[in-house]
Amino acid sequence: MLEYVKKAIIKFRTQRNLRFDILSSFFVIQVLTATSIVYYTYTNNTTSMLELSQRMMDDLSESKIDRIRNRFEGIQTATLMGSYIIKNQTMVSTQNKILLDYCIAVVKQYPSLESIFIGTEEGTFFQVKILPPNSTYRTNQRLLPIKAKIAVRVVQRNKSDVSETWSYLDADSHILETEKLPTSQVNYNHKVREWYQRTLQTRSQIWTNIYIFSTTRLPGVANAIPISTDGGHYFGVIGADIPLDSFTEILKNVHFQGLSLVLTKKGEIVASPFENHPAKVSLTGGETQLVTVNDLADKIPAEAFKVFNSTGERKFIFSYEGKEYIANFKEYDPSIFKDWVYVFIMPIDSLIGQIKQTQQNTLIISFFILFLSIIFITYLAHRVSKPIIQLTNQANRISSFDLNYPEQVVSAIQEIQQLQSSINAMRISLVSFGKFVPKKLVRKLLDNGNEVKIGGKSKKLTIMFTDIADFTTISEAYPADKLVTHLSEYFEEITRIMADCNGTVDKFVGDAVMSFWGAPNPDKDQAMNGCTAALLVQKRLSDLNRKWHFEKKPVLVTRIGVHSGEAIVGNMGSSWRMIYSALGDSVNLASRLEGLNKIYGTSIIISDDTLHHIQDYAIVRPLDLVAVKGKKKGVKIYELVAMKNSNPLLLPTDEQIDFCNRFDRGVALYRDKRWDEAIEVFKSIEVNYGKDHTADLYIERCQQYKKNPPPNNWDGVFQMKEK
């Protein structure tokens, strides 16, 4: 039997039908091609979609975290600003209109805020909150007047007496009614609260652990900062409450079939997207106990948290009840709440379900094409094999010396035509030489024929410093609350311009702003972008100052310094508080350049290193060769006037170009020690263009050098004595 099978296989391999070979070969190729394409497409698309989904989930998680962080940071800023308003305990009163207006403005500005409050060492507790609809009196269940929008709570607690008063205000902050609680109902003591004790203990701004609010009995967190007198005596704390269920709207606003939560690393629910299942707490033995993921009716988050706890992985795929899900655990913000994590879970079918459907459709289409191909290939095989079989029969007849002229094979295939011609020529030869026995020549042709750690690195940056001239004088003469609003409008405008010009705003130092270009994203046009931003800032401030002058607000004159050079940029700070910043000599020099504006009466000073990158576009006038304080080496500095081939708003006028050229001539004469000629040029500049502080400075220097000439090795460097 085995021998028979071997012979059958050998016969099949050596005596196969041509039509069968053509059909089987095309069939195998078609199946392999379709299968490979479907498999590759499905695998590649699935992998790409999963990678894309993880990046999308990362971006979504970061977006949600940023939205929550923005709320925290806004409220953190509000409490910080509030601490500047209160300078003694007597100011904590409903009679203090500035304090009352500020607190009302804060709770109106931040709808997610439950209340803003102040507690003092003398025993006063002051709290302002927005009243929800259908609010009632504290002592009974009667509804408050419909116009009541704001509540002000004052608790007075001293050794001999305790009282609690509620004032109800309308939308215009007018007191409608006042309600005093019976002494028996006054049980709130702010001094035993965590926010009060820990803030005064640490003498710093803090975020509390989750606790129960005294008025709403809802869970939340508070931000608090100590308040002190001008002499530094701490006498109380100002803070603000954020209820956890205020994040429900953020978490449920997901445009995908997924679930997002904020958990602690113990699996406790800080916030969820379920309005009917917000984060709740219970009090066990006086301690706050959060609901955990195990308490949810939906067990998918619990399963994801179990995998996260056991593996430590932050991005992973897991199965639950026969379905696969993808999960992303992202730490919230270690500087505020170090044990919070943002969780996003999505069923994989919502990502690749369409791919599976496409795969099935592709398979159906492939089989349909295969069926049509078999019909076509059968026809083609017949067209190819039939003339070959006919030619084979002719050759067999010739081999048996049957030399009768057969029916000729007609084919459009060139090789078959050639084969027919060859057989005909062979037949003719055999007819001519019939005495000879032909020999059959057989030839066989065998075709067988590839994490956030502290650290930084050196990068080429363009650094900008801005500062408001005479800001101290302005701040002393302008009310603090109005100054904050005014300064906020100023910062909003200039930082928007910096961001639009691809810049990174590093920090605010009082009224000063530090920003840089070239990090974290590379920027080959960093010098151009930085200088464009500087000019646009001055243009915008010119418009704003006209508006502020009309509004009787302080006019803000800004000085700017720009320098390009190597700096260390990266994450700096401590393990619990980091900033992304830059430091080094280049940063210091940019800061010094900003200060030099005061000496030269200019608004934008750039260094020679910056000008080197934009010299084909910048319209500048040379200012000086200076050695800033702490340095011996001179640096060429220029006033940036305009930019050509750039923003239409920044194009130079003919007057500006002529002014810069004349000034360049004057400075060149000065450096050549041609004092009289230099004085003449600078005086002509003032005749044509008006009084100029820098021109006056050069005239004065030239006159001094005429009386006391500099040494022969004088290099023109002017040594600055001040920052």
Tens of pLDDT, residues 471-500? 888 888 888 888 888 888 899 999 999 989
Residue 708 contacts by C-beta under 8 Å, 6 or more apart in sequence? none
Helix, strand, coil shares of the chain as percentages rounded to 5?
45, 25, 30
In the chain, the domains with their CATH numbers are 89-244 (3.30.450.20), 254-347 (3.30.450), 457-648 (3.30.70.1230), 653-714 (no CATH)
Predicted TM-score (pTM) above 0.75: no
User: pLDDT per residue over 264-311, tens digit each?
Assistant: 888 888 877 765 554 455 544 455 577 888 888 888 888 888 888 888
pLDDT at 447 over 60: no
For 437, the 3-state DSSP assignment is: coil
| 687-693: average pLDDT | 88
Looking at residue 322, the DSSP 8-state letter turns out to be T
For 26, the 3-state DSSP assignment is: helix
Length of the chain equals 723
Cβ–Cβ under 8 Å, residues 587 and 601: no
Q: How do beta strands 512-517 and 604-607 pair?
A: unpaired
Whole-number Cα distances in Å, 410 to 10, 100, 392: 33, 106, 14
pLDDT at 675 over 60: yes
Residue with tokens 């698309």: 45
Residue 721 contacts by C-beta under 8 Å, 6 or more apart in sequence? 629
Cβ–Cβ under 8 Å, residues 281 and 271: no
Residue 548 contacts by C-beta under 8 Å, 6 or more apart in sequence? 486, 554, 555, 556
CB atoms within 10 A of CB 628: 21
Alpha helices in 444-479 (DSSP H): 471-477
Torsion (CA) 654, 657, 659, 664 in degrees, nearest 10: -160
Chain centroid to CA 109: how far?
24
| 136-142: average pLDDT | 88
CB atoms within 10 A of CB 682: 27
Find the helix or strand (DSSP H, E) in which 696 lies: helix 693-707
Structure tokens at 466: 């801005």
CA angle (338 as vertex; 334, 344 as ends), nearest 5: 90
pLDDT tier, 597 (very low <50, low <70, confident <90, very high otherwise): very high
Cβ–Cβ under 8 Å, residues 264 and 340: yes
More confident residue, 203 or 254: 203
| 39-67: average pLDDT | 67
CA end-to-end span of the chain: 105
Q: What is the CA radius of gyration of the chain?
A: 42
pLDDT more than 90, % of the chain:
27
Alpha helices in 601-653 (DSSP H): 608-614
Residue 683 contacts by C-beta under 8 Å, 6 or more apart in sequence? 695, 699
User: pLDDT per residue over 213-238, tens digit each?
Assistant: 777 777 888 999 999 998 889 999 99
H helix and E strand count, the chain: 16, 25
Cis omega (within 30 of 0) on the bond before 520? yes
Residue 661 contacts by C-beta under 8 Å, 6 or more apart in sequence? none
Residue 216 contacts by C-beta under 8 Å, 6 or more apart in sequence? 114, 243
More confident residue, 283 or 9: 9
CB atoms within 10 A of CB 408: 12
CB atoms within 10 A of CB 612: 11
DSSP states of 440-469 as a string? Answer: ---------------EEEEEEEEEEEEEET
CB atoms within 10 A of CB 620: 24
What pLDDT does residue 232 have?
Answer: 87
Alpha carbons 666 and 435: distance in angstroms, whole number: 117
Residue type, 501: C
